[in-house]
Amino acid sequence: MNAAKRSLRLRDLHIGTRLALGFAAILAILVTIAYRNAMQLAQANALNTRAYATIEQTHAMLESLTSIQTSERGYALTGQDSLLKPLQEGKKNFLARIEKARSLTVGEPAQQARLDKLLAQEQAWLKVAIEPVLKMRRGVTAGAIQLDSLVQFEEGGRGERAMDAMRALLSEIGAAQDEILAKRSADVEALQRLTSQLLIGGGLLAAVLASVIALFLIRSIVRPLRHAVGIARTVAGGDLTSDIASGSLDETGQLLDALKAMNDNLAEMVGQVQGGARSISTATGEIASGNLELSTRTESRPVRSKKRLPRLRS
């Protein structure tokens, strides 16, 4: 259990790993700040793009309505069926454009209501102004209706009034989008300023954190190294009594473990040498004591005269 807890301590990590974690933490802070603001800017730009696309659709719808009106007037004057093709295409394009505008203004109930009103006006315009003219022109061509009746119907201005109402509604839709764009542009500018401030603040915060992390790393690396240097000097000075404890599993801890093993081995060797010296000293003392005793005994014996043997005469 203790070993498992010890392995989770930061100072037990290798020095390179700690340095990498420190720089990764700083980088993560900067990336998080940049990503958050980039996403907000992207969202704001996407909303602006939708607003511009909606304005484009209003212009396209006006073009479709104008195409219908122009085609209707041309057919009313000439009676040529070929002039009805732009009218049919205009009707199809208008419906497609209004559906596109609806998809672009999802979440904008006021614009959705204006588009619904515009569609209703367009359908009413076709019914009360465009289709009657086409029908009357066919009657004129067939000889069933006098051309003056058709001219009088056109001069009544029913179709033009409906067209003016639709132009006004399209202008209202465009003006609402312009107002939305102005507000969003202001929001984007404010967000850009905030992004700059956050990046500057994030940079300063990262610098402070980098300093804190650097100090922590320096303390966790330099202190054990200084301790190891002090132990090495103590051992070099002949003092083998140091109590060496690593306290970590990183490179400095491994260095202290190696110094501890070296110190213990040297202490054991010195102890063995001292034990051998004591044994030699004891043996030497015993030899000296024996020699002294022998010398004392030799000196205490009486001196005996040597008897000369008589010479033998030949």
Residue range 5-22: average pLDDT?
63
Among 53, 47, 54, residue whose Cα is nearest residue 185 = 47
Angle at 256 between CA 252 and CA 262, to 5 degrees: 145
Per-residue buried b or exposed e for 75-100, using 16+ beta carbons within 10 Å of the residue's own CB: bbeeeeeebeebbeebbebbeebbeb
Element (H, E) at 261: helix 251-300
pLDDT band at 309 (very low <50, low <70, confident <90, very high): very low
Tell me the C-alpha distance between 24 and 28, whole Å. Answer: 6
Residue 195 has pLDDT above 80, yes or no: no
Domain ranges of the chain: 9-212, 238-296
Q: Report d(CA 148, CA 152) in Å as an integer.
A: 6
What is the model's pLDDT at position 208?
A: 81
Residue 1 confidence (pLDDT) above 60: no
Q: Which secondary-structure segment (H or E) carries 226?
A: helix 158-236
Q: How many other C-beta atoms can be found within 10 angstroms of the C-beta atom of residue 261?
A: 11
Q: What is the pLDDT of residue 45?
A: 78
pLDDT tier at 126, thresholds 50, 70, 90: very high
Contact predicate 58/101, CB 8 Å: yes
Report whether pLDDT(66) > 60: yes
Quote the percentage of the chain above a pLDDT of 90. 31
In Å, the largest CA–CA distance within the chain is 205
> Mean per-residue pLDDT for 64-90?
93
Which residue has tokens 């793009």? 49
What mean pLDDT do residues 68-91 have? 92
pLDDT digit string (tens) for 132-153?
999 999 999 888 888 888 888 8
Note the pLDDT of residue 15.
Answer: 65
Report yes or no: 88 and 150 within 8 Å, Cβ to Cβ: no
Domain 9-212 has CATH 3.30.450.20: no
Q: What is the pLDDT of residues 90-124, one digit of tens each?
A: 999 999 999 999 999 998 999 999 999 999 999 99
Cβ-Cβ contacts under 8 Å for 221 (sequence gap 6 or more): 15, 252
Rounded CA separation 147/151 (Å): 6
- What is this structure's pTM? 0.56
Residue 302 banded pLDDT, cuts 50, 70, 90: low
What mean pLDDT comes out for the span 57-62? 95
